[in-house]
Structure 1
Amino acid sequence: MNMEWSTCPFCDLSLPSSQLQWHANAHFDDREDLPQQFHLTSTPSPQSLQSEQAASDSQFGETSGDCNHWDVGETSRDNGEFTMDDKMSSLIGLQAWSKFYKVEGGLMALLRNCLESEPENSKAILSGYVDHFQSLEFEDAGWGCGWRNIQMLCSHLLVQRPEAREALFGGSGFVPDIPSLQRWLEIAWEKGFDPDGSAQFDNAIYGSQKWIGTTECATLLRSFALRARVVDFGPKESESCYISVPGSSVDDALDKKSKAYQVLTDFVWNYFSDKSSIQFDHQRVLISEKTPLYFQHDGHSRTIVGIQVEHQLNGILEYNLLILDPAHSTVALERSLKEKVGWQKLMKRGMHTLEEPQYQLCYVDPGIASGEEMEKLKTIDSVFLEF
């Protein structure tokens, strides 16, 4: 394919001439103000979302089921085609900021205030900064929860971890929209990350409504040399479900559910508390240095941003996972937290809510991988904890 190339006069990026005007104009966009601008506006209309998707399709080139179909080729620009570096440079310049409702003062600060108002027998540990990214009715409702959880996890990484901010998305410093994230995942696959997972998606995901999970989250983040880890929770392979096993009594089923709940919540508590190395002293709520947890089960995924423990009169410890759900409205979350009314129903998840037979978590350890470790990260493995 013959293609004319031009150099941006502002950043010296070489890109197809057809994209030069759009790219150059982007230098005049005040991208730092985008989240605040969205905060001051209403939810985008279906027409505006369709226009944005059309613009994104135009920027990246139409997709025909081939992840290498970028409106360019794949190996050598001498032939008018892209190398991997070319593709990444183009995507860095063309990726779009994901618009979202930015909560004034920060959602996590509001959550902390609510937890500090809880009964004195409770203590909680929270992640640091996290933005909530909700699924939008005319954009990704019903299939986009995995991408929204990646966005929430990245919002934390970009604020809390300087090394991640420099590594993620070419150092752009912002959370990209779903089409851009889909392109980044395709690049990760092309680099050799999770070849088995890539094959399951036929090596292409841009422009689709395919569901993703913790594996794709880990693949995407590992491609930026981040140490993303996956943990599986479930029963023995011989047991199909911990809630209802043929021939078992109701008490047996409840015991299995209680054990499953305990295994999961013990892990989450030890994770955020760094295995109890932190001390509460007289504080009710502590902020952990750990990343939020991408929380996956069959059919849906959410983000765990912390955990609360309540000391009951009988001496039993009752845990509640603190979650952000992409299916919830950010405006409704903000209102309930500010008014301290109804937020528990939206954000607390106790044992009675954990009905699935299997769960997966994804989190990110500190630091940047290189050399041999980077090669090992291409294989997505996990730790299995039995219920």
Structure 2
Amino acid sequence: MTFKKTMTSLLSNVHEGAEVQFPTGNIHLVSGKYEYYHYLCDGFDDRGWGCGYRTLQTLCSWINQNYQKNVEVPSIRQIQEILVDLEDKPRSFLGSRQWIGSFEVCLVIDKLYNIPCKIIHVNKGDNLSTIVDTLKTHFEKFGSPIMMGGDVDCSSKGIMGIHIERSEASLLIVDPHYVGKEQTKEFLQNKGWVKWQPLKVFLSSSFYNLCLPQAKSKTII
């Protein structure tokens, strides 16, 4: 399966530099290069519903540059076509504004790259602390970015790292909801589109699903 490349250039590794916020503790980060996909980044207006697609595109850009380059990053329309072809979605899904979550991201990555993904379900935000070791091990072993979504807090986001200090942990979030021209890494971090988010601020009433691509970065020996 091949797609035409529709992108020009996007900012890469927008999380870099954010680690200076924590002079102590242990930080485990994504390894290798990825591109930052967000609302309207390709001229397609997906505001309000496309965050899952954009995070998937960010993950695909990482796979292309760090694991294997079989296909270009798919467009939102092409992602919908894949899910319909897999019979995960009905034909009415094509051209719709229906969001996708971690399970659909898993299906698309497996279809395009033949890479399995680990799905982690956390039944409420208060229990995110139970997967801290799992996330730490993922970044150490694979180094691939993670997608995270929920039900009440339903917006999808990329996780590019975890900071652990004693009994506290924070996730390094890359938010696809940004609208505008690409600025700089510093701009995105200063405006909160890339930020560390303590686990304790996640909604306790929401469940969360995480998609962890089981693809090992070439930079990890």
Output the amino acid matched with 1:334: K
The answer on whether the counterparts of 1:188 and 1:220 sit within 8 Å (CA) in structure 2 is no
Does structure 1 residue 269 correspond to structure 2 residue 121? no
Q: Which residue of 1 aligns with 2:119?
A: 230
Instruction: Give distance in 2, aligned partners of 1:157 and 1:119.
Output: 28
User: Does the 8 A contact of 2:146 with 2:211 survive in 1?
Assistant: yes
| Alignment partner of 1:208 out of 96, 99, 106 | 96
Residue 320 of structure 1 pairs with residue 170 of structure 2: yes
Normalised by the length of structure 1, the TM-score is 0.48
Structure-2 change in CA distance of 1:366 and 1:125 (3 Å): same
Cα 1:118/1:212, change in 2 over 3 Å: closer
Match of 1:308 among 151, 155, 163: 163
Q: 2:202 aligns with which of 337, 350, 354?
A: 354
User: Structure 1 residues 123 and 203 mapped into 2: Cα distance closer, same or farther (>3 Å)?
Assistant: same
1:208/1:119 CA distance change after superposition, 3 Å: closer
Q: Classify 1:202/1:266 alpha carbon distance in 2 versus 1 (closer, same or farther; 3 Å).
A: same
**C-alpha offsets along residues 232-267 of structure 1, whole Å, 9 cap, x if unaligned?**
1115xxxxxx7xxxxxxxxxxxxxx3xx13113333
Alpha-carbon distance between aligned partners in 1 of 2:214 and 2:132, rounded to the nearest angstrom: 19
Deviations 1:20-61 (A, max 9, x none): xxxxxxxxxxxxxxxxxxxxxxxxxxxxxxxxxxxxxxxxxx
Task: Mark the runs of 5 or more structure 1 residues left unpaired by the alignment.
Answer: 1-87, 190-197, 236-241, 243-256, 275-288, 311-315, 368-387
Q: Deviations over 1:135-181 (max 9, x none)?
A: 1296100111111111011010000002xx23xx3xxxx21221122
Instruction: Note if 1:147 corresponds to 2:45.
Output: no
What is the identity, as a one-letter code, of the residue corresponding to 1:99? M
Q: Deviations over 1:76-109 (max 9, x none)?
A: xxxxxxxxxxxx5xxx3xx443436522xx325x
User: Alpha-carbon deviations, 1:170-205, whole Å to 9, x = none?
Assistant: xxxx2122112222222233xxxxxxxx2xx33442
Higher Cα Rg, which structure? 1
User: Do 1:214 and 1:362's aligned partners in 2 also have CA atoms closer than 8 Å?
Assistant: yes
How many Å apart are 1:114 and its aligned residue?
3.6
Please, what TM-score do these two structures have when normalized by structure 2? 0.80
Higher helix share: 1
Alignment length, in residue pairs? 208
4+ aligned runs moved over 4 Å, structure 1: none
* Pairwise CA distance, 1:353: 2.3
| Aligned 1:115-134 pairs, distance under 5 A | 115=19, 117-127=20-30, 128-134=32-38
Greater mean alpha carbon deviation, residues 349-358 or residues 148-157: 349-358
- Displacement of 1:336 in angstroms is 2.8
Please list, as runs of the form range in 1=range in 2, the aligned pairs for 1:1-387 lying within 5 A after superposition: 92=2, 95-99=3-7, 102-103=10-11, 106-108=12-14, 111-115=15-19, 117-127=20-30, 128-136=32-40, 139-162=45-68, 165-166=69-70, 169=71, 174-189=72-87, 198=88, 201-224=89-112, 225-234=114-123, 257=126, 260-274=127-141, 289-298=142-151, 299-310=154-165, 316-329=166-179, 331=182, 334-336=185-187, 342=190, 346-355=194-203, 356-366=205-215
Q: Which has the higher contact order (CA 8 A, sep 6+)?
A: 2
Q: Does the CA-based 8 Å contact 1:214-1:294 persist in structure 2?
A: yes
Distance 1:232 1:350 in 2: 18
| Identical columns (%) | 22
Residues 105-126 of structure 1 deviation map (CA, whole Å, 9 limit, x = unaligned): x325xx33341x3343133111
Distance change >3 Å, CA 146–CA 118, structure 1 → 2? closer
Which amino acid letter does the alignment assign opposite residue 206 of structure 1? L
Q: How far is the alpha carbon of 1:342 from its aligned partner?
A: 2.5
- 1:294 is matched by which residue type in structure 2? M
Gaps of 5+ in 2: 217-221
Q: For 1:344 and 1:147, locate their aligned partners in 2 and report how far apart those are by CA, in whole Å.
A: 20
- How far apart are residue 333 of structure 1 and its match? 5.8
